[in-house]
C-alpha cells in the first residue's frame, strides 16, 4: 500500500471482514459502529476516499458503500501477520477423522470432504505424485505354485496388487529366493529407480534361461515395470462443488463456466503444481488465478493451495477454490491443518 498508514489499513481490514461476512457494501458509519477504529466517521470517509483512489476498494453503485477490489484482498492477505491456528480440540478431531481412514483412497476422500465442510468452498486433493513415492515393501504371495500375487506398498500409502502367471511352478525355497531378490532390488528406492533396478535384475539372471527362478524374475519384472512407471494422467479428488451454488452472486453469472473449468482437471493441476513449496500456503486472487491456470473462466475465483507429505517428500498438492469474497484467514488455517495431518497419517502407514 506504499505510504498508507496503519490506520488506513485497519479501515481496509474492516471493510474486507464486513463484506465477507455480509456481502453488502460497507459505509463509513457502519465501520465506526462495528469496529473500534478510534476515529470519527469523517476521518474514515477520508481514508476510504484514499483507499478508493489507490484501487483497494470500489463503489459498486452510486450512493452505496464500498467493497474490496482484488488489489484490496491481495493487500489484506499479504499483511496477515499470523493466521489464527485451530484449537487443540479442532486439531485432534481432524487427525482422528483422517487417521480412521482404512487406506490411501479413504484418507484422501475424508480429507477432501472435511476441507469442503470446514471452508464451505470447493476442495481438491491430488493423489500422491508417483515419481515422488518410494517403495516401502513388496510382498510375494503364492496363490498356486504357478501363480503369484505381488503386493507393492509405497511410502505414500499407495497399494498395488498384480498377478504374475509363471511358466514353471516354484517350490517354497525358490519362492523365498524370489521374494528376497525382488525386495532387495526395490525396497527403499524411488519408483523411477525401482523400475530400472528390477529390469536390471531380470537382465542379470537372463543367462540362467530355462531355470524356474530366472523365468519367474523375468515375468515379475515385466509386471512390476508396468506398475512402477509414472502414468501421465494424475488423479484428483474434488469435494463440495455444491458450495459454489451458495455463492452464485459472487461469480457475476459466470458460475457455469467455473464449473466447466473445474471439470478439466488440467486447470486444477496447474494451480496445484504452481504451489510446490512444502508447508507454504499460497493464495491466488482473481486474475492471478487466471494467469496461473491459463483459464479465463477462473478470473473471478480465488484459490488457496499448499502441499502435503512428510518432512522429506512432497506427495502432492491440495487446496480450496471459491469466490474472491472469501474468509482468507480461516481458509488458510483449514488448508494448512488438513495438509499437515494428511502427511502425518500417510507417513506413519
Parts of the chain belonging to CATH 3.30.450.40: 88-129+234-347
**Mean pLDDT throughout 3-32?**
88
Average pLDDT of 247-264?
Answer: 79
Give 174-194 pLDDT, tens digit per residue.
Answer: 999 999 999 999 998 888 788
The model's confidence at residue 210, banded by pLDDT at 50, 70 and 90, is: low
Task: Provide CATH code, domain 88-129+234-347.
Answer: 3.30.450.40
State the pLDDT at residue 275. Answer: 67
Where along the chain do the CATH 3.30.390.10 domains lie?
132-228
6-78 CATH: 1.10.10.10
132-228: CATH number: 3.30.390.10
Report the pLDDT value the prediction gives residue 293, as an integer from 0 to 100.
84
Residue 102 has pLDDT above 90, yes or no: no
**Nine cell digits for residue 187:** 525396497
Tell me the pLDDT band of 232, cut-offs 50, 70 and 90: very low
Average pLDDT over residues 216-245: 80
pTM of the full predicted structure? Answer: 0.76
- Residues carrying CATH 1.10.10.10, the chain: 6-78
Task: Over range 141-165, report the average pLDDT.
Answer: 88
**Is 194 in a helix, a strand, or coil?**
helix
Q: How many CB atoms lie within 10 A of CB 79?
A: 12
Sheet holding 159-165, edge to edge: 135-144, 147-154, 159-165
CA dihedral 66, 68, 72, 74 (to 10 degrees): 170
The predicted-structure confidence for 275-294, as pLDDT tens digits, reads as follows 667 778 999 999 998 888 88
| pLDDT at site 176 | 92
Provide the pairing of β-strand 301-309 with 314-323.
Answer: antiparallel
329 or 103, which is more confident?
A: 329
> pLDDT confidence of 149, banded at 50, 70, 90?
very high
- Nearest alpha-carbon partner for 288 in 12, 8, 13, 78: 78
pLDDT of the residue at 1: 47
343 with 336: CB under 8 angstroms? Answer: no
Amino acid at each position: 500500500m506504499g505510504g498508507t498508514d496503519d490506520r488506513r489499513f485497519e479501515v481496509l481490514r474492516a471493510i474486507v471482514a464486513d463484506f465477507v461476512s455480509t456481502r453488502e457494501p460497507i459505509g463509513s458509519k457502519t465501520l465506526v459502529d462495528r469496529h473500534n477504529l478510534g476515529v470519527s466517521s469523517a476521518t474514515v470517509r477520508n481514508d476510504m476516499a484514499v483507499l478508493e483512489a489507490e484501487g483497494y476498494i470500489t463503489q459498486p453503485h452510486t450512493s452505496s458503500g464500498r467493497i474490496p477490489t482484488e488489489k484490496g484482498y491481495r493487500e489484506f492477505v499479504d499483511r496477515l501477520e499470523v493466521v489464527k491456528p485451530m484449537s487443540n480440540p479442532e486439531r485432534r478431531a481432524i487427525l482422528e477423522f483422517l487417521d480412521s481412514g482404512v487406506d490411501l483412497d479413504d484418507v484422501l476422500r475424508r480429507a477432501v470432504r472435511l476441507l469442503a465442510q470446514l471452508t464451505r468452498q470447493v476442495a481438491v486433493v491430488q493423489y500422491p505424485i508417483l515419481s515422488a513415492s518410494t517403495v516401502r515393501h513388496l510382498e510375494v504371495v503364492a496363490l498356486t505354485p504357478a501363480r503369484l500375487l505381488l503386493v507393492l506398498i509405497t511410502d505414500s500409502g499407495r497399494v498395488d496388487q498384480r498377478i504374475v502367471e509363471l511358466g514353471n511352478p516354484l517350490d517354497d525355497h525358490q519362492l523365498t529366493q524370489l521374494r528376497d531378490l525382488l525386495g532387495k532390488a526395490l525396497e527403499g528406492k524411488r519408483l523411477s529407480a525401482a523400475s530400472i533396478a528390477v529390469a536390471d535384475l531380470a537382465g542379470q539372471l537372463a543367462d540362467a534361461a530355462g531355470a524356474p527362478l530366472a523365468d519367474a524374475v523375468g515375468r515379475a519384472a515385466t509386471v512390476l515395470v508396468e506398475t512402477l512407471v509414472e502414468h501421465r494422467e494424475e488423479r484428483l479428488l474434488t469435494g463440495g462443488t455444491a458450495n459454489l451454488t451458495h455463492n452464485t452472486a459472487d461469480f457475476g453469472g459466470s458460475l457455469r463456466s467455473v464449473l466447466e473449468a473445474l471439470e478439466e482437471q488440467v486447470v486444477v493441476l496447474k494451480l496445484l503444481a504452481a504451489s510446490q513449496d512444502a508447508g507454504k500456503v499460497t493464495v491466488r486472487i482473481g486474475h492471478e488465478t487466471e494467469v496461473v491456470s491459463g483459464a479465463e473462466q477462473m478470473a473471478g475465483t480465488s484459490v488457496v493451495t499448499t502441499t502435503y507429505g512428510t518432512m522429506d517428500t512432497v506427495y502432492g498438492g491440495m487446496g480450496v477454490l471459491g469466490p474472491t469474497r472469501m474468509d482468507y484467514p480461516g481458509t488458510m488455517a483449514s488448508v494448512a491443518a488438513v495438509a499437515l495431518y494428511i502427511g502425518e497419517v500417510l507417513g506413519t502407514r
